[in-house]
Amino acid sequence: MSIPKSSKAEAAQLRQALSEHNYHYYVLDDPLVTDQEYDRLFRRLQQLELEHPGLVTPDSPTQRVGSEPASHFESVTHEVAMLSLDNAFDEEEMLAFDRRLRDKLDRDSALAYCAEPKLDGLAVSLLYEAGELVRAATRGDGRSGENITANARTIASIPLRLIGDNLPRRIEVRGEVYMELEGFAALNRSQQQDGGKVFANPRNAAAGSLRLLDSRITASRPLTFCSYGTGLCEGVELPPGQYQQMQFLRAIGIPISRQIELLDSIDDCLDYYQRILAQRDELAFDIDGVVFKLDDIEQQREAGFVSRAPRWAIAYKFPAQEVMTRLLDVDFQVGRTGALTPVARLEPVAVGGVMVSNATLHNMDEIERKDIRIGDIVILRRAGDVIPEIVAPVIQQREGKLKRPRMPSRCPVCNSEVIQQSGQAAYRCVGGLVCAAQRKEAIKHYASRKAMDIEGLGDKLVEQMVEQGMIESVADLYHLELEQVAGLERMAEKSAQNLLQALEQTRTTSLARFIYALGIREVGEATAEALAGHFGNLEVIMDADVESLQQVEDVGPVVAENIRHFFDQQRNRDIIDQLLDQGVNWPAIDLSHRQLDQSLAGKTYVISGTLNGYSRDQAASLLKARGAKVSGSVSSKTSALIGGENPGSKLARAEALGVEVLDQAGFESLIEG
């Protein structure tokens, strides 16, 4: 029967694509597609070759594993071929695998399996002779790999010499070199600081580290090794079961999986899969499935092999955590603190068992670093319940000139100015009192105990009022009526009366409380007190320039900019005017204390220990009234340590730095001028 031309052409295209993907994955350690996409292409080629056996060629990716070894390493021929595994993607395929084995072995009873997580790393072969490591090699194309002995010797979890008395004359140990998540994160931080390559995932990091020409660099990378089986073994008869053989390896010093188990049936295998899947996000390393192997070694031999994989083993893959899709656009969400976060709008795609159409892009620095553009094909990752994120764009599939995402200059919710402070990655909307995205948080903050202290106005009540359209800003609180409030869920007339009475009481407050209640970014209670004490007048504060604001104690350039940006928004000023029109007021502030001697201006003091007749706050106030700053820690810039009784470790620190130390008499002399 002739093969259709369309099938011939499709098979040729698939062979070429898979060969290219193998080269990038195994040789360059720079995959072009996700595992899910590779599996899809591979299974399609398998299907075509099954339908038309004449399409099978000796060099088809279905007939071999991986790609040719890289030329810069010595080639090693494996004495026993390192084959790949067939995959299962659902329970039905697992049950079919078990049925095929029982048919092959002519068995009606259940088969026992050895199970362990499928590590996402780089497969290697370790050859030991007389107990000593003599060679390490990558899997390569399954027949030959790359000699990486010098690099393997730097990995602490790979024993250089086996332990025990009854050691094999020669034994080839097979396993996975991988990188734990914590080490991977630390490596990427270090790479980023040094301007080096940032790896997309732990598998790439492990593969790239293991195949460096300079083994000194490999030694600095957090690599580890875990065995999953053996190749040849001479001089010792290995136990008759896969699980027992793994225990033998552990006994002679080879690390094996802590999650390895011996299971009595295929049903136990399915239960094991679900258990490991539930633990996936709690493990210290990446896994992408579970490997099941027929436990009885004699049954393994009887079951035999197909061209590229043993019939007696299978990898039951987890739902993909990384997939490819297209980035359609980038929107910007405004959070409760005013921070703008870029959000990717994607062509919907299933990842980790969930359909995803949105993903976080973190911040603009991250977008720039990854060079993400609108219209790109991107790699999307979702681990467990973690918000999906874009790992990287697939640069090789970029077509034409694509637009870079740009941060808007105005808030997409309230049209207030968007600013980025020096040294910070975040961009923020400064329309704190008027921005709908920040509205609930602004009202909750205004009502909080240390702000206006509106008793009875809790978070849930604020949320009800905002959601029902009763209040749009803090000024609307003073327009609330008894009937409105009493009609809210879990509110009665008495509770409503109490709330309105509490609101009435807050019409008289202090300037410091009012400034704090406005929710200006990084203006806490102490800063609000300092502003009120320094300027004494709200209008003066609202009109003060950045330089004037920085004259206030503990107000640096960032806080001064925050204050200035907040009051530059006319709509924030409108809300303040509405509050004042509603009768919110405070006593006038006497600024005569500012005429005191300022002889300590520019000095910084630290108070430690107990002073007779003065609390620490009183002592600090006396110093501040004379222009001094009071710090909590001693440094080389400290003018003097004021040490009372039991000054503690700060005294030793001051003496070590050569900082002057004043006793009680010295302190009193200081404040008396």
Claim to verify: residue 55 and residue 113 sit in the same structural domain: no
Per-residue model confidence as pLDDT tens digits over 32-68: 888 888 888 988 998 998 888 888 876 677 765 544 5
For residue 7, the one-letter residue type is: S
Q: Is residue 591 part of a domain?
A: no
225 beta partners? 177
262: containing domain: 77-317
Claim to verify: residue 488 and residue 624 sit in the same structural domain: no
Claim to verify: residue 267 and residue 143 sit in the same structural domain: yes
Structure tokens at 81: 């071929």
- Residue in the structure block whose two tokens are 């399609």: 44
Cβ-based neighbours of 38, under 8 Å, separated by 6 or more: 18, 21, 25, 31
Q: Is residue 131 part of a domain?
A: yes
Average pLDDT score over the chain:
88
Domain boundary among 397, 415, 443: 397
Query: Minimal CA–CA distance to 378: which of 352, 356, 364, 397?
Result: 397
The CATH number linked to 609 is 3.40.50.10190
In three-state secondary structure terms, 392 is strand
Task: Find the length of the chain.
Answer: 673
Structure tokens at 132: 């000593």
Per-residue model confidence as pLDDT tens digits over 247-271: 999 989 999 999 999 999 999 999 9
Q: Is residue 417 part of a domain?
A: no
Neighbours of 412 (CB within 10 A): 14
Q: How far apart are CA 630 and CA 3, in angstroms?
A: 88
Query: Minimal CA–CA distance to 124: which of 261, 212, 225?
Result: 225
pTM of the model: 0.56
Q: How far apart are CA 527 and CA 517, in angstroms?
A: 12
Query: Minimal CA–CA distance to 172: which of 146, 139, 136, 144?
Result: 136
Claim to verify: residue 567 and residue 653 sit in the same structural domain: no
Claim to verify: residue 11 and residue 51 sit in the same structural domain: yes
The CATH number linked to 42 is 1.10.287.610
Structure tokens at 187: 């490596």
Domain boundary among 286, 317, 348: 317
Q: Is residue 112 part of a domain?
A: yes
Claim to verify: residue 447 and residue 568 sit in the same structural domain: yes
Backbone angles phi, psi at 220, to 5 degrees: -85, -5
Q: Is residue 473 part of a domain?
A: yes
Which among 118, 317, 444, 629 is annotated as catalytic? 118
In three-state secondary structure terms, 145 is strand
Claim to verify: residue 370 and residue 269 sit in the same structural domain: no
Domain boundary among 266, 299, 317: 317
What is the pLDDT confidence band of residue 383, given thresholds at 50, 70 and 90? low
Per-residue model confidence as pLDDT tens digits over 346-378: 999 988 767 889 998 988 988 998 999 999 999
Long-range contacts of 422-427 (CB under 8 A, 24+ apart): 422/557, 422/558, 425/363, 425/364, 425/365, 426/339, 426/340, 426/363, 427/339, 427/340, 427/363, 427/364
Q: How far apart are CA 40 and CA 19, in angstroms?
A: 14
The CATH number linked to 116 is 3.30.470.30
Q: What Cα–Cα distance (Å) separates residue 191 from each residue in 197, 221, 357, 627?
A: 6, 11, 31, 46
**pLDDT for residue 660:** 92
Residue 460 annotated to the active site? no
- Residue 242 pLDDT exceeds 70: yes
**pLDDT for residue 199:** 82
In three-state secondary structure terms, 459 is helix
The CATH number linked to 364 is 2.40.50.140
Structure tokens at 359: 């993903």
Q: Is residue 42 part of a domain?
A: yes
- Reported in sequence order, the residue ranges of 536-671 that DSSP labels E, i.e. its strands, are 604-608, 629-631, 640-643, 660-662
Structure tokens at 42: 């591979």
Structure tokens at 433: 């009192």
Q: Is residue 142 part of a domain?
A: yes
Comparing 80-89, 125-134, 139-148, 424-433, which segment has the lowest mean pLDDT?
A: 424-433
175 beta partners? 124, 227
What is the pLDDT confidence band of residue 312, given thresholds at 50, 70 and 90? very high
Structure tokens at 55: 């399409």
Claim to verify: residue 16 and residue 87 sit in the same structural domain: no
Per-residue model confidence as pLDDT tens digits over 59-85: 677 765 544 544 568 899 999 999 899
Cβ(293)–Cβ(85) under 8 Å? no
For residue 186, the one-letter residue type is: A
For residue 454, the one-letter residue type is: I
Claim to verify: residue 116 and residue 209 sit in the same structural domain: yes
Claim to verify: residue 308 and residue 330 sit in the same structural domain: no
In three-state secondary structure terms, 350 is strand
Claim to verify: residue 270 and residue 355 sit in the same structural domain: no
Q: Is residue 492 part of a domain?
A: yes
Domain count, the chain: 5
Claim to verify: residue 122 and residue 19 sit in the same structural domain: no
Cβ(339)–Cβ(521) under 8 Å? no
